[in-house]
Structure 1
Amino acid sequence: MKTIEQIEKIKAVVLYVLNKMPTGVDYIKLSKLLYFAQRESLVLYGKTIFDDTFKARDRGPVPTLTYKVLKMIENGDDFNECNELKEFGNSIKVVRQKATALQNCNIDLLTSIDMKILDDTIKKYGNINSKKLSEMTHDEVYNSIIEKMKDDPEKNIFTLIDIARSGGASEEMIEYIRNKQVLKKALA
């Protein structure tokens, strides 16, 4: 499970996107916007904007915690079994798989770089329909994960290196990300 801090950051990122798109965003488009923003951050800076895990699904990468919260809201869950997600769940409205923000995002949790990447992502991809966005994520990296899943369904996770490679990160940036991950594991 994610820490409270990680959940708060994911919530801030999701609300930032939803606040910028006040008429609402369907699950697929929201997932792809979050993926493209995360990818851009990894390619440019070797860091994530938020700590949601992306899994391969039929329509492309899906941020797992965000998707779980959206589905819980849609199903009318009161979050009693997942109290740590209650505030996140109460911040979003879902009607027919379309999410809208019920509150403003806590921008104190986002850096100026995070917001610029999110703004640029919304500007670049926000007017593209969900089907096309989904197709855009079905690249070589996605296809290799789908192939691995044929052997082992548990291999459906996009690593940070997978996401960075999908965005065309340089080998130097890939090595930087790899070294950061090794250090993080060593310190854990």
Structure 2
Amino acid sequence: MYSESKTAQMAGYLLLKRGGRMAYIKLMKLLYLADREYMITYGDSMTGDRAVSMNNGPVLSRTYDLLKSGSPEEESPWDDWIAGEADFEVSLKKRVNGLDDDDAFDELSKANKRILDKVFDEYGRYKRFELCDLTHRVCAEWQNPHGSSVPISPKDILMAGGKSESEADELIRHMRERDALKQFSRQLA
């Protein structure tokens, strides 16, 4: 189940680590890599977004739309956190008191932050198109969409990350159960 609010906080966290601004395509890749790493490590998606292969590598579909166009909603967590800038860049819009600001980053667990830190430490130094090229090589689940987009299943991500088919199937079953519980909880609220 997609969480725009959590995804916006993830983006804000990465932007803050980078000094508050970066190319939107680089942010998109870092968010994908973080969601991927979290899924491989913990058996769940941080964002709840759907992954797709595009020409410049794998992306999170709904997050990509937010990065390109902003939110269509009048009140949007994404638009509270992220501002579009010139030269295909985005910046941190929300005022936060550092990476340890638990009030601002209230949807990010310690495990979420560890994954974001790990991904930024490993990939944050790359320039935008270097990172695109790198995701073609390190993300075995990516396939060339030839100008379109091709869905990437969680099973593809898990197996590319070293899980066996049976392990991937079991993790996906647990993901679906958690999503069903989240939906049920939202209906009760």
Is the structural similarity TM-score above 0.5?
yes
Alignment of 1:20-99 (within 5 A): 20-73=17-70, 81-85=72-76, 87-95=77-85, 96-99=87-90
In the TM superposition, 1:112-131 aligns within 5 A as 112-131=110-129
Q: Secondary structure at the match of 1:65?
A: helix
Query: 2:155 is matched with which residue?
Result: 161
SS, match of residue 152 in structure 2: coil
Distance 1:112 1:184 in 2: 19
The separation in 2 between residues aligned to 1:108 and 1:182, in whole angstroms, is 24
SS in 1 for 2:11: helix
2:13 maps to which of 9, 16, 27: 16
2:55 partner letter: D
Moved >3 Å (runs of 4+): 169-173, 181-188
Q: C-alpha distance in 2, partners of 1:94/1:47?
A: 29
Distance 1:29 1:53 in 2: 18
Instruction: List gaps (5 residues or longer) in structure 2.
Output: 184-189
Matched pairs, number:
172
Q: Which runs of 5+ in 1 are unaligned?
A: 74-78
Aligned partners of 2:172, 2:4: CA distance in 1, in Å? Answer: 24
Report the secondary structure of 2:66's partner residue: helix
Q: Distance between the aligned counterparts of 1:57 and 1:126, measured in 2?
A: 21
Change (3 A) 1:173 1:29: farther
For the residue of structure 2 that corresponds to 1:142, the secondary structure is coil
Considering fraction of residues, name the structure with more helix: 1
SS at match of 1:107: coil
